[in-house]
Amino acid sequence: MRTKKQFVEGLRKMRKNIYVDGQKIDRDDELQMPTIDTIGLTFDYAADPKHQDLCTATSHLTGEKINRFCHIHQSKEDLHKKQDMTRLLCQAAGGCIQRCMGIDGSNAIYNVSYEADKQNNGATQYHNNFKKWLERFQKEDLVGCCAQTDVKGDRMKRPSQQKDPDLYVRVVERKKDGIVVRGSKVHNSEASVADEILVVPTRALLPEEKDWAVAFAVPGDWEGVKQVVTVHNLRDRKYFKRGFAPGATDSYTIFDDAFIPWERVFLCGETIHGGTCALLFALFHRHSYSGCKPALGDLMLGTVALAADYNGIGKTSHVRDKLAEIIRVSELGYAAGFTASELGKPEVYIPGMGFHPYGPGSYIPHSIYANVGRCLTGEAVFREAEILCDVSGGMPATFPYEGDFVNPETKDLLYKYITRNPDVHPEDAAQLWRYVGDMICSASGGIHLLGSYHGGGSPIMEAIAITTQYDVEGRKKMVKKLAGIKDRKPEPAKSK
Answer for the pair 336, 283: CB distance below 8 angstroms, yes or no.
no
- Residue-wise pLDDT for 243-253, tens only, equals 999 999 999 99
pLDDT for residue 183: 98
> Residue type at 118?
K
- Can you give the pLDDT at residue 274? 96
Residue 269 has pLDDT above 90, yes or no: yes
- In this structure, the number of other CB atoms found within 10 A of the CB of residue 365 comes to 30
- In the predicted structure, residue 467 carries a pLDDT above the cut 90: no
Evaluate if residue 176 carries a pLDDT over 70: yes
- pLDDT(485) > 80: yes
Task: Tell me the mean pLDDT in the region 428-446.
Answer: 94
Mean pLDDT of the chain: 95
The predicted model gives 157-169 an average pLDDT of 96
Please state which of the four CATH numbers 3.40.50.150, 3.40.50.720, 1.20.140.10, 3.40.640.10 is assigned to the domain occupying 277-476: 1.20.140.10
Please write the tens of the pLDDT for every residue from 213-224: 999 999 999 999
Over 90: is that where the pLDDT of 447 sits?
A: no
Q: What is the pLDDT of residue 496?
A: 66
Close Cβ partners of 127 (under 8 Å, ≥ 6 residues apart): 110, 113, 114, 116, 117, 266, 360
Reported as a pLDDT band with limits 50, 70 and 90, residue 490 is confident
Share above pLDDT 70 across residues of the chain, in percent, rounded to a whole number: 99
**Can you give the C-alpha Rg of the chain in angstroms?**
25
pTM, to two decimals: 0.93
DSSP code at position 345? B
pLDDT surpasses 70 at 139: yes
93 in Cβ contact with 224 (< 8 Å): no
pLDDT in tens, 343-374: 999 999 876 778 899 999 999 999 999 999 99
167 confidence band (pLDDT: 50, 70, 90):
very high
pLDDT band for position 16 (50/70/90)? very high
**pLDDT value of residue 449:** 87
Q: What is the pLDDT of residues 450-459, one digit of tens each?
A: 888 887 777 8
pLDDT at 107 over 90: yes
Determine the average pLDDT of the residues in 146-158: 95
Q: How many percent of the chain have pLDDT more than 90? A: 89
Q: If residue 375 lies in a helix (H) or strand (E), which one and from where to where?
A: helix 367-378
Going through 74-213 in order, the beta strands assigned E by DSSP cover: 144-147, 170-174, 178-189, 196-199
Distance CA 270, CA 272 (A): 6
The residue type found at 295 is A
Check if the beta carbon of residue 255 is closer than 8 Å to that of residue 225. Answer: yes
The pLDDT of residue 4 = 98
The DSSP H or E segment spanning 320 is: helix 317-342
- What secondary structure does DSSP assign to 92-115, as a single string? HHTS--S-HHHHHHHHHHHHHHHH
With a cut of 80, say whether residue 418 has pLDDT above it: yes
Question: What b/e sequence results for 103-119 when a residue is b if at least 16 CB atoms lie within 10 Å of its CB, and e otherwise?
Answer: bbbbbbbbbbbbbbbee
Q: Is it the case that residue 65 has pLDDT exceeding 90?
A: yes
Confidence (pLDDT) at 231: 96
| pLDDT confidence bin for 446, thresholds 50/70/90 | confident
| Angle 401-402-404 from CA coordinates, rounded to 5° | 75
Contact 150, 216 (CB under 8 A): no
pLDDT at position 456: 76
